[in-house]
Every structure is written in structure tokens, then in C-alpha cells.
């Protein structure tokens, strides 16, 4: 692959996309595009099978209850009704062995597909299968279900009050178990009335928190500060709202389960299905060609996929479970809201001297989550406080189960800290960009507390300062700041926010078959969830093989096609992890091609080069086409045609290579490149808002995200990620929410028009993005992921612009709506209870 040779100075400047490459950094149409725009793409709901039944779910009407009795006699007697599935028929929690051979013990608190003690309103408690959905519905309405209501709590702070109800009989707070245990542990924790005294002053109470870490001299940091702010801020619970719900179709054939549903990883969903079904992995065939969004909620599909699979086995017929929008609201996962109190010390120039963060994280109804922890880590990385303490309490509530949502914890960290930085800049008289610049991470920036060895973790590279500078230039920051702020009833403000999140993992496999038809066939187990990364990463392999993209076929979405072990598309890891795997397998493939050529034509492999679908002697001379090399590889057998396999690859890849044996030149490899540091991607985000102070209505009038994500692989797709995920962040700022009546523990906003994800008209028409395109030095292609890093910045750039327009005393929580602004702007102080969520 052509390398980009940069001087030290050049390495700190933006590089034009595609410099030095034929494919990388250049736009192209991905292999799935035509199918998507013509409607030919098939999602789970589009599949049909002979004799297929439909099933529908019965959801718990109560936030916490015990199912005492189910009488389905009348339903089962109806014509067309084929059967029901009850909680007792769902396999229980199971230990499992991960692909590293580690035994993971089952978590007794974790969720099952059907519950006999539902922990939230909307939890599935029963499923009914019939010849059609109308019959299912009429049957469900004939089922008698006797339920015993149990104590519940939908508010994490309320759950900590003396005498309040716990979400679970075992307690209300998740406490960490010492490693290596992954089991959850619950305790009953109540704070005292004295702890809650701060609430009267609008400050988050800070009672006992079971999780804590710190580094640096916090006291000295605050003592030496020119300004100390003590701020309370709450983020909202926000559902994933995938456009494709977790619809699933399943049937059994010759002892194998064929299952169709959306996922963020084709290959890694197989072991999850096997574990949930208590069945061998080699009996699972998983088909997922297209997925309508995941955002962390479909990492390995969804637990409810077992329902049609079990019904199909029980009734000996294919079963389709279509999940409705309301059902998706309940089972579709959500980001946990965090209530935070953060004390931050600043030097005169805005440099943070100390940061003390206290979090109350809402765990929802099942299991703990890592959002509170990630919130501390991202704060430590993105703002580089020299001294920091982090405390966290994760509280169980009878609300929807949470899961990772794009930038889990990181989004909340940025939403919580950025308004404090903005306020500090105003109080210190420091420019907002300048204040962020002095706190910006750079190089191999450290983060978090010291590990067991006393060292702090650090990143592979960070050029955020350059992104901030370039972004400020492109956004005309200085000119915008200097413009008039108020005219008529309108006030406007500009905001800037730093943003970051994890940008990649390592250790996955690539698999390429050079076919006798002269094609480069790349197999991938990445889920196709809409980001295009599942195709983009293979540009790296094609670049190394010097092959025209038109000769490359991508095979994905069906495990019967023998796919390699690939990363799941979560944690923004795909571009990083799979360009590494693609790089490795392309080098392996090129080497095998040269070896085949040397064996066929004479000389040594090193005498050959690969280009334009040929492997030929360097400088001209004998050579052979890829097709001829493939045929030769088949004759050679062994390692060349997949009858033997690269011993370094994962066991799933080994099985898949065996499945391709004899098809051509079969190359597989694993990414074992060295990697110093943790991969994170960074952005500087800018926004402008215009608010009408007589109505409280505001518009985002402009937005730009400037990314430091390493090498840009596919500019159009990256732009989609930068702006698309920024919009997810904006959703948190401008209105997406839950509405729950705490007296009954019932959600009342389960439709789009009530929980209000943003529409295309809620964001600027002409949002802009750019990227440095400076390669990450710790990965061979230099690329990192960008799925999650923009989310926090997308939210905080908006809230910072609002605060710049309206002042610091308007809001202490997101989302910020007309009602927030209207009441607080007139009063001159925040009028909404910062802790009260779900309004």
C-alpha cells in the first residue's frame, strides 16, 4: 500500500482525503446501496417461509408484578390459534464460554425473553402464535392473566430516599463485585434526610456512593483555583428508537435453527443465540443482510429473538414475530439518564485545576451498566483535569432496560461538563474556544485513575487541538462571536464543545477467496446496520492487493456462507478493527499469490508483485491472472485453497475457511499488529442557535463537526457518521424524552409524536463537517471509528450555544424546550426541578 510520508510539521496539518491512495479516502457506492434505494434490500420482516405463523406479545401492564395465573383456554380454543409460549418454557440463565475460552457465569439478575415477575411496564410475559396477527390479537384479549402488584420505583433519586420502595426485592443499588467476577450484586441503600438537605438548594444530594476512584491532589487543585463552580445537571433517558424494530422470523430444518433478525454483528450473534437457546452454535444459521439501526441496542441481536425460535420448535412451523412501534419502545433499550453534581476548579486562563464528579446513574430494570463509569473516564480524558475524583451510584428502577447507546456514558459526560466550561469561560472572560484549547488532550493523553501497576491508561494519538483550531476557522468562530446577540425578540448564541469516544478494538480476522472467475471475494461477519462500514473497511484490503474495486465482491449477512470472526459494530470499532483485519488478510493473500506464482512460474515469491488482478514478476515478465492463480491454488491444496488454515485465526474463522476449501485461493489472517494505547476518536463541535424569548422556541441555525478520526476511509460515509451522530446528540438537547407517570409507574409517551425524536426540519439544512485525515500511528491503515464520538458534542454544542444566548440560569437538565426557556428566562433562574425526569 502506498504510504503517506509526512514531515513532523505536516503531520499536524489536515491532509486532503485520499492522498497517496487509489481507493482509501475516495468516495464510492457501497455494495448494498442500490438495493436500499430501490427497496430490494430485505430486512427480517421481508422474509417468508412456507406455512409461516405469526406471533404477538403480551406485555406487562404493571411496572413490577408477579404473574400468578394464566388462563389461555378460551384463546387456545379459537380457530387459527396454534399455541402460546409462557415464561416457564424459556430456557433459563446459562453460563457460557467466550471465544477466549473464559467461562462467563450466568447473571441471575439478568433478563429472560418472557418474565413471570416483570420488572417494568411493557416487559413481555407471554406470546401467542396463530395463523395471522388479527387472530393473535383476538386470542390475547381472551387470555386471563392474574397479576400480583409488587412495590416499584421509577425514579433513582426517589429510590435513595429513606423509606422509599426498592425496584427489586433484593435491593435498589448495583454494587461492584471484585474482578474477575462478572456477577451483579444488589444492595439496599438509603440516604439520610441530612443527605437530602442539599436538594432544597437545587443541588444534587450526595450520600453514600459505592463506586469511587481518584488521582491527583484534589484539595490543592481547588485551593489554587481562581474560580470554583459546583453545578448540578441531569441528562434524560433516551430510547434507541431504531427504525427497524427487533422483528424476528425463525424456522427449524434438519435440526438447525434458521433465524432472521437485525444485528450489529452477524458472526457474534450466533453464540448469543446458542446461549439464549441452550443449543450448540453449529446448529444455528443466522441471516441478517440488512439492519435498520442498532446504536448499541442490537450488539448481538435482541433477547426476544428466542420467542419465535421456541414457538417454531414447539409448533413445528416457521414463526414470524413482528414487533410494533409501541412494543419496540418497551423492549428496544435506552440510554440511562444520569443526575450529576460536579465541582470544578479553574485557573484564570480557564485551565481546570481539579474536578470532583458525583453521579446517580439510572440502571433501569435489569442489571447494572457502565455509563456512570464511562462518564468518569471520558471526563478525565477529554478535559484532562490534573486532579479528579469520581463517585457513582447505579440505582435500579422499574423502568425500561438500559443498554449501551452510542457513546454510552461519554455522551452524558460531555452533556454534564460542557455547560460548566461555558459558564467558567463567561465568568473568567476567556473565549470559549480558548478555554477548551487549554484543557484539550493531545498526543498520548492519559486518562482515568492509575491501574493496578500504578500507571494510567493513555490513547494512541490525539490531534484534537488541531481539529479545534481548524473547526473554529471553518466555522468563523471569531466573527460569529463578535456579531450582535439580540435583535427584536430573538437572541442568538454560538457554542463549542469537545467530544470523544472509543474509536476501535483489535484482534479480529479477515477472509478472502481469490476465485477462478478472477474475482476477489471478501467475506465479512460485520453486521450491516446502515453505516456502510461493513463495506468500507474492505477498501483497505483492495488497496493492498492493488485490485480494482469493480473486481471485489463482498459476502455478508448469512452465516451459512462461512463468514470470518469479525467485530460487532458497536463501540465505534469497525473501521479501526476491520481495516486492521483487512490489512492483515490482504498481506496474507498477496503473499500466497506470490507463492503460487513462484511455484507455478519459477523464482521466489519476493520476485513477484500483485496489481490489477495479476501476480507477476517485478519489472515485467512472467505472470498469471488471479483466476489462474486461484486454479493453481486449488491444485496445490493445503494452505493455498483452504484445506489447511492459518493457525492464528479464531475458531469461527477456522470453520469458515474449511467451508471454502477448494473454492480458490483461500487466505485468512488475524490482526496481531502492535498497538500502543487505547484508540479514541475526537471532535470539535460548533453550533449556533436563535431563540425567540417570547415563545421560548429556538432553532439550531448552524452546526459543524470537525473530526480527528485518523485516516478517512470513505468521506461520504464519514460525513454521514459525523453529522448523523451529532443529530443523535442534538436529540438529547432539543427534545427526545420519556414521559412516565411515577404514581403508576407507567409510560405515557410510547409513540414518536409523544417521545419526540428530532425530525429533519429540527436540524440545520446545511450542516458541515470536516476531518483532519491525520493517520493514527498505532494502526496500519491509520483509521479510527467515528460512530459514537460526535454524540456528546452534538448535544453540548447546542446547550452551550443556548447558554451563550440566554445566560447561565436557564436550565439544569436536558432536553431544553420552549417551556424551560420561557419560564426560566422571565424568572432569571432555573424554574424546572433539575432532578425530575420523564416530564
Give contact residues for another protein (rule: CB under 8 A). 56-59, 61, 126, 133-134, 136-138, 140-145, 324-327, 483-484, 487-490, 694-697, 699, 735, 739-744, 746, 748-750, 752-754, 756, 758-762, 817-819, 822-823, 826, 838-839
The distance of closest approach from Cβ of residue 326 to another protein in the complex, given in angstroms and rounded to an integer, is 5
Per-residue DSSP letters for 23-82?
STTS----TTHHHHHHT----GGG---TT-EEEEEEE-SSSSEEEEEEE-HHHHTSTTEE
The distance of closest approach from Cβ of residue 817 to another protein in the complex, given in angstroms and rounded to an integer, is 6
Per-residue DSSP letters for 302-358?
-GGGHHHHHHHHHHTS-EEEPPPHHHHHHHS-EEPPEEEEEEEEE-TTS-EEEEEEE
The distance of closest approach from Cβ of residue 276 to another protein in the complex, given in angstroms and rounded to an integer, is 24
Nearer to another protein, 230 or 694 (CB): 694
Nearer to another protein, 367 or 735 (CB): 735
Nearer to another protein, 279 or 831 (CB): 831
User: Which helix (H) or strand (E) element contains residue 477?
Assistant: helix 477-482
Nearer to another protein, 672 or 695 (CB): 695
Give the cell for residue 438: 487549554
The distance of closest approach from Cβ of residue 767 to another protein in the complex, given in angstroms and rounded to an integer, is 15
Cα separation, 365 vs 381, in Å, equals: 30
Using CB atoms within 10 A of its CB, is residue 618 exposed (0-12), middle (13-18) or buried (19+)?
exposed
Q: Which of 467, 503, 469 is closest to 782 using CA atoms?
A: 503
The distance of closest approach from Cβ of residue 133 to another protein in the complex, given in angstroms and rounded to an integer, is 5
Could you tell me how far CA 612 lies from the centroid of its own chain? 37
Cα separation, 836 vs 80, in Å, equals: 47
Nearer to another protein, 220 or 839 (CB): 839
The distance of closest approach from Cβ of residue 232 to another protein in the complex, given in angstroms and rounded to an integer, is 20
Nearer to another protein, 530 or 696 (CB): 696
Query: Which residues touch 757 (CB under 8 Å, ≥6 apart)?
Result: 241, 731, 736
User: Rounded to 5 degrees, what are φ and ψ at 509?
Assistant: -110, 155
Whether omega before 815 lies within 30 degrees of 0, making that bond cis, reads: yes
Nearer to another protein, 148 or 819 (CB): 819
Nearer to another protein, 318 or 696 (CB): 696
Find residue 212's DSSP bridge partners: 391
Instruction: Give the DSSP letter of residue 205.
Output: P
Q: How many H-runs (helices) and E-runs (strands) does the chain carry?
A: 22, 36
Using CB atoms within 10 A of its CB, is residue 61 exposed (0-12), middle (13-18) or buried (19+)?
middle
Cα separation, 354 vs 228, in Å, equals: 9
The distance of closest approach from Cβ of residue 815 to another protein in the complex, given in angstroms and rounded to an integer, is 9
Q: State how far the alpha carbon of 701 is from the alpha carbons of 219, 763, 769, in Å.
A: 42, 8, 15
Q: Which of 542, 536, 220, 621 is closest to 387 using CA atoms?
A: 220
Per-residue DSSP letters for 499-552?
EEEE------EEEEEE-TTS-EEEE--B---SSSHHHHTHHHHHHHHT--GGGE
Cα separation, 38 vs 55, in Å, equals: 29
The distance of closest approach from Cβ of residue 754 to another protein in the complex, given in angstroms and rounded to an integer, is 6
The distance of closest approach from Cβ of residue 88 to another protein in the complex, given in angstroms and rounded to an integer, is 17
HSE-up of residue 611 (Cα within 13 Å, Cβ side): 10
Nearer to another protein, 249 or 393 (CB): 249
Nearer to another protein, 33 or 752 (CB): 752
The distance of closest approach from Cβ of residue 420 to another protein in the complex, given in angstroms and rounded to an integer, is 26
The distance of closest approach from Cβ of residue 695 to another protein in the complex, given in angstroms and rounded to an integer, is 5
Cα separation, 816 vs 829, in Å, equals: 14
Residue 725 near residue 533 (C-beta atoms within 8 A): no
Nearer to another protein, 62 or 645 (CB): 62
Nearer to another protein, 147 or 272 (CB): 147
The distance of closest approach from Cβ of residue 199 to another protein in the complex, given in angstroms and rounded to an integer, is 16
Cα separation, 521 vs 504, in Å, equals: 25
Taking the CA atoms of the chain, what radius of gyration do you get in angstroms? 28
The distance of closest approach from Cβ of residue 130 to another protein in the complex, given in angstroms and rounded to an integer, is 11
Nearer to another protein, 732 or 756 (CB): 756
Nearer to another protein, 258 or 330 (CB): 330
Cα separation, 674 vs 119, in Å, equals: 45
The distance of closest approach from Cβ of residue 74 to another protein in the complex, given in angstroms and rounded to an integer, is 9
Strand order of the β-sheet with 552-555 is 552-555, 520-523, 509-514, 665-670
Nearer to another protein, 133 or 607 (CB): 133
The distance of closest approach from Cβ of residue 311 to another protein in the complex, given in angstroms and rounded to an integer, is 16
Residue 355 near residue 385 (C-beta atoms within 8 A): yes
Query: Which residues touch 345 (CB under 8 Å, ≥6 apart)?
Result: 221, 222, 224, 225, 227, 228, 352, 353, 354, 355
Nearer to another protein, 101 or 484 (CB): 484
The distance of closest approach from Cβ of residue 255 to another protein in the complex, given in angstroms and rounded to an integer, is 33
Nearer to another protein, 59 or 520 (CB): 59
The distance of closest approach from Cβ of residue 507 to another protein in the complex, given in angstroms and rounded to an integer, is 42
Nearer to another protein, 235 or 263 (CB): 235
Q: State how far the alpha carbon of 625 is from the alpha carbons of 226, 514, 630, 661, in Å.
A: 71, 10, 9, 20
Could you tell me how far CA 444 lies from the centroid of its own chain? 24
The distance of closest approach from Cβ of residue 140 to another protein in the complex, given in angstroms and rounded to an integer, is 4
Amino acid at each position: 500500500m502506498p504510504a503517506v510520508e509526512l514531515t513532523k510539521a505536516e503531520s499536524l496539518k489536515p491532509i486532503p482525503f485520499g492522498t497517496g491512495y487509489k481507493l482509501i479516502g475516495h468516495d464510492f457506492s457501497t455494495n448494498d446501496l442500490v438495493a436500499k434505494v430501490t427497496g430490494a434490500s430485505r430486512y427480517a420482516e421481508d422474509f417468508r417461509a412456507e406455512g409461516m405463523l405469526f406471533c404477538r406479545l403480551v406485555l406487562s401492564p404493571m411496572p413490577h408484578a408477579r404473574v400468578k395465573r394464566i388462563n389461555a383456554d378460551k384463546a387456545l380454543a379459537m380457530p387459527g390459534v396454534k399455541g402460546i409460549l409462557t415464561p416457564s418454557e424459556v430456557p433459563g440463565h446459562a453460563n457460557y464460554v467466550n471465544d477466549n475460552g473464559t467461562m462467563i457465569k450466568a447473571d441471575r439478575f439478568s433478563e429472560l425473553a418472557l418474565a413471570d415477575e416483570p420488572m417494568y411496564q411493557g416487559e413481555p410475559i407471554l406470546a401467542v402464535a396463530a395463523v395471522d396477527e388479527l387472530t393473535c390479537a383476538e386470542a390475547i384479549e381472551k387470555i386471563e392473566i392474574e397479576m400480583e402488584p409488587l412495590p416499584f420505583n421509577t425514579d433513582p433519586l426517589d429510590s435513595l430516599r429513606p423509606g422509599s420502595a426498592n425496584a427489586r426485592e433484593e435491593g435498589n443499588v448495583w454494587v461492584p463485585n471484585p474482578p474477575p467476577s462478572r456477577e451483579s450484586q444488589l444492595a439496599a441503600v438509603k440516604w439520610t434526610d441530612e443527605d437530602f438537605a442539599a436538594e432544597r438548594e437545587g443541588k444534587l444530594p450526595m450520600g453514600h456512593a459505592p463506586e469511587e476512584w481518584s488521582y491527583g491532589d484534589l484539595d490543592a487543585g481547588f485551593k489554587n483555583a481562581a474560580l470554583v463552580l459546583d453545578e448540578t445537571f441531569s441528562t434524560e433517558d433516551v430510547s434507541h428508537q431504531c427504525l427497524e424494530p427487533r422483528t424476528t422470523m425463525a424456522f427449524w430444518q434438519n435440526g438447525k435453527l434458521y433465524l432472521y433478525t437485525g444485528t450489529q454483528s452477524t458472526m457474534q450473534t450466533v453464540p448469543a443465540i446458542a446461549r439464549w437457546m441452550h443449543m450448540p452454535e453449529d446448529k444455528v444459521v443466522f441471516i441478517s443482510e440488512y439492519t435498520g439501526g442498532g446504536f448499541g441496542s442490537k450488539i448481538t441481536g435482541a433477547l426476544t429473538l428466542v420467542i419465535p425460535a421456541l414457538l417454531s420448535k414447539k409448533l413445528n412451523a416457521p414463526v414470524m414475530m413482528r414487533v410494533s412501534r409501541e412494543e419496540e419502545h418497551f423492549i428496544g433499550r435506552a440510554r440511562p439518564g444520569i443526575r450529576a453534581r460536579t465541582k470544578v476548579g479553574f485557573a484564570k486562563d480557564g485551565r481546570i485545576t481539579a474536578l470532583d464528579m458525583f453521579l446517580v446513574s439510572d440502571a433501569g430494570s435489569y442489571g447494572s451498566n457502565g455509563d456512570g463509569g464511562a462518564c468518569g473516564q471520558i471526563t478525565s480524558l477529554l478535559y484532562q483535569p490534573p486532579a479528579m475524583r469520581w463517585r457513582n451510584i447505579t440505582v435500579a428502577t422499574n423502568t425500561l432496560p438500559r443498554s449501551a447507546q452510542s457513546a454510552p456514558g461519554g455522551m452524558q459526560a460531555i452533556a454534564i461538563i460542557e455547560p460548566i466550561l461555558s459558564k467558567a469561560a463567561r465568568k473568567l472572560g476567556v473565549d470559549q474556544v480558548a478555554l477548551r484549547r487549554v484543557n484539550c488532550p493531545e498526543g498520548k493523553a492519559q486518562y482515568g485513575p492509575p491501574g493496578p501497576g500504578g500507571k494510567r491508561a493513555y490513547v494512541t494519538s490525539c490531534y484534537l487541538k488541531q481539529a479545534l483550531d481548524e473547526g473554529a476557522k471553518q466555522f468563523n468562530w471569531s466573527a460569529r462571536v463578535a456579531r450582535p446577540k439580540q435583535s427584536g425578540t430573538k437572541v442568538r448564541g454560538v457554542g463549542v464543545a469537545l467530544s470523544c469516544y472509543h474509536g476501535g478494538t483489535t484482534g479480529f480476522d479477515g477472509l478472502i477467496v481469490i476465485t477462478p472467475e478472477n474475482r476477489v471475494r471478501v467475506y465479512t461477519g460485520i453486521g450491516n446496520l446502515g453505516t456502510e462500514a461493513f463495506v468500507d473497511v474492505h477498501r483497505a484490503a483492495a488497496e493492498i492487493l492493488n485490485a480494482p474495486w469493480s473486481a471485489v465482491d463482498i459476502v455478508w449477512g448469512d452465516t451459512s456462507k462461512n463468514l470470518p470472526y469479525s467485530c460487532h459494530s458497536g463501540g465505534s470499532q469497525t473501521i479501526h478493527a476491520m481495516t486492521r483485519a483487512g490489512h492483515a488478510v490482504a498481506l496474507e493473500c498477496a503473499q500466497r499469490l506470490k507463492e503460487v506464482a513462484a511455484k507455478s512460474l519459477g523464482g521466489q515469491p519476493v520476485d513477484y508483485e500483485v496489481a490489477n488482478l495479476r501476480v507477476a514478476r517485478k519489472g515485467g515478465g512472467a505472470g498469471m491472472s488471479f483466476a489462474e492463480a486461484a486454479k493453481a491454488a486449488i491444485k496445490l491444496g493445503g494452505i493455498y485453497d483452504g484445506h489447511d488454515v492459518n493457525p492464528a485465526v479464531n475458531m469461527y474463522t477456522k470453520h469458515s475457511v474449511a467451508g471454502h476449501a477448494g473454492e480458490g485461493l483461500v487466505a485468512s489472517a488475524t490482526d496481531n499488529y502492535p498497538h500502543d494505547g487505547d484508540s479514541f476518536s475526537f471532535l470539535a463541535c460548533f453550533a449556533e442557535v436563535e431563540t425567540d424569548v417570547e415563545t421560548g422556541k429556538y432553532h439550531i441555525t448552524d452546526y459543524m463537526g470537525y473530526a480527528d478520526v485518523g485516516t478517512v476511509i470513505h468521506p461520504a460515509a464519514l460525513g454521514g457518521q459525523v453529522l448523523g451522530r451529532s443529530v443523535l446528540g442534538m436529540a438529547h438537547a432539543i427534545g427526545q424524552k420519556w414521559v412516565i407517570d411515577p404514581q403508576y409507574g407507567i409510560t405515557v409517551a410510547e409513540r414518536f409524536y409523544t417521545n419526540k425524536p428530532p425530525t429533519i426540519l429540527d436540524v440545520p439544512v446545511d450542516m458541515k463537517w470536516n476531518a483532519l485525515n491525520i493517520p493514527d500511528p498505532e494502526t496500519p491503515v491509520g483509521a479510527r471509528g467515528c460512530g459514537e464520538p460526535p454524540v456528546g458534542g452534538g448535544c453540548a454544542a447546542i446547550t452551550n450555544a443556548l447558554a451563550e444566548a440566554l445566560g447561565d440560569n436557564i436550565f439544569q437538565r436536558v432536553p431544553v424546550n420552549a417551556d424551560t426557556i420561557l419560564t426560566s428566562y422571565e424568572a432569571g433562574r432555573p424554574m424546572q426541578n433539575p432532578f425530575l425526569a420523564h416530564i
